[in-house]
Amino acid sequence: MAYPSLEELVENFSLFDDWEDRYKYLIDLGKSLPVMAEGLKTDQNLVKGCTSRVWFVAQEKEGGKYHFIADSDAHIVKGLIAILLGAYEGKTREEIANVDIEDAFSQMGLDQHLSPNRRNGFFAMVERVRGGSCF
């Protein structure tokens, strides 16, 4: 599945005038996630530091590029996962390390409109990817 790139996501979020519309867009992004097999929803794949339950798995593909499979039990968090997949899907570890996800998060207005728990959970997922614990 092709996810919108981080640049496209930043642009799409800028099209909305109020947070309610951005919130709906975030939920719609989450609805686009493919279904994660129940067998992958293990404690090993569970992201620590998220209030909601989040499972995150990486698979190395040809050329050292990564494919991610992730899911959550919360709609907003699924949208945040979709943002991460747009940022990291199909990239190498080096490319992943060079993504300025913090800047994009801020440009989308998520730093101002998400609860501290959601922000912390988002960056727990980022650290799981960057730190390689989902590889």
Which listed residue (29, 50, 80, 129) is catalytic? 50
The burial class, CB within 10 Å (0-12 / 13-18 / 19+), for 115 is exposed
Closest CA to 47 of 19, 73, 27: 73
Provide the residue count of the chain. 135
Location of structure tokens 């409109």? 113
Q: Which long-range contacts (CB under 8 A, 24 or more apart) does 62-65 make?
A: 63/92, 64/92, 64/93, 65/90, 65/91, 65/92
CA pseudo-torsion sign 41, 44, 49, 55? negative
Mark whether 50 is an active-site residue: yes
Three-class DSSP category at 50: coil
Which amino acids are annotated catalytic? 50
